[in-house]
Amino acid sequence: MMSNNDILELHDKHFKKFITREQIHDAVKRLGAQITSDYNASEVVFVVVLKGSILFATDLIREVNLPCRLEFIRAESYGTGMHSSGKVNVTHYTGMDLTGKHVIVLEDIVDTGLTVKQILAHLEEMNPASLKIATLFLKPEVCKGTVSTHYVGFEISPLFIVGYGLDYNELGRNLADVYILHETP
Ligand code: 5GP
């Protein structure tokens, strides 16, 4: 990984700094306050979608002042690279019982909305009391209202981003800022 402040190289691509860690921090704080106020002291189960949502989840739950539980699932939709395979495979890591619980799915990014739609269908079968989605990034021009995203950090253009949990072929998840694909450095 080569880096000169605002441009970095991952595998065969260049990326340019797009959203700073300070902006992310502010958005996460805002979402945490909103969730705290909306759930009015009720217990919430956060279902963290691995791997990309891990940084978002660990920061967000510290901004939520409610009794909360954590569960983990994995949804694989992008095999490799930047294009969706169209197929989503959902795996559980914990013996979840969501019956009668208030559930918030924590997603890193909603692009076409196919992944989160299938996650919702899967979790609805467990009869939660309520089921909402919090996503740090949303590409509204791509998902065009396929799913209702209740808590959104940033609405972005339909370009590929990395950092803060999001990868390009598994690299870039550890970046504190978010970078966008930039072909000519
Ligand atoms: P969807 O099913 O909404 O099209 O895609 C959701 C998944 O695709 C996300 O959870 C993420 O893994 C991946 N994805 C979509 N857009 C991006 C992007 O801009 N950057 C990265 N790194 N992954 C993305």
CATH of residue 134's domain is 3.40.50.2020
Residue 83 clears pLDDT 90, i.e. is over it: no
Residue 162 within any structural domain of the chain:
no
Q: Count of domains in the chain?
A: 1
| Token pair in block for residue 147 | 């799913």
| Token pair in block for residue 31 | 């979402």
Q: How, if at all, do strands 68-76 and 44-50 pair?
A: parallel
Query: CA-CA distance, 80 to 104, in Å (whole number)?
Result: 27
Residue 109 within any structural domain of the chain:
yes
Mean pLDDT (the chain, rounded): 91
Band of pLDDT at residue 1, cut at 50, 70 and 90: low
Q: Rounded to whole angstroms, what are the CA distances from 114 to 6, 77, 127, 167?
A: 32, 9, 21, 18
> Using omega within 30 degrees of 0 as the cis cutoff, is the peptide bond preceding 51 cis?
yes
**CA atoms within 13 Å, Cβ hemisphere of 55:** 21
Residue 129 within any structural domain of the chain:
yes
Residue in 6, 12, 108, 111 annotated catalytic:
111
Residue in this structure with the two tokens 């690299």, named with its chain if needed: 171
The DSSP call for residue 66 is S
Residue 92 within any structural domain of the chain:
yes
Backbone φ and ψ of 106, nearest 5°: -105, 110
pTM of the model: 0.93
Pocket of ligand 1 (CB under 6 A): 52, 77-78, 84, 108-115, 160-162, 166-168
List, for residues 14-29, the tens digit of each pLDDT value.
999 999 999 999 999 9
User: Does 167 qualify as catalytic in the annotation?
Assistant: no
Reduced to 3 states, what is the DSSP secondary structure of residue 42? coil
List, for residues 125-176, the tens digit of each pLDDT value.
999 999 999 999 999 888 777 788 999 999 999 999 999 999 999 999 999 9
Cα 161 to averaged position of ligand 1 atoms, centre (Å): 9
Residue 82 within any structural domain of the chain:
yes
Residue 69 within any structural domain of the chain:
yes
| Beta bridge pairs of residue 151 | 134
Cα 42 to averaged position of ligand 1 atoms, centre (Å): 31
Backbone φ and ψ of 110, nearest 5°: -110, 115
Q: Are 46 and 73 in contact (CB under 8 A)?
A: no
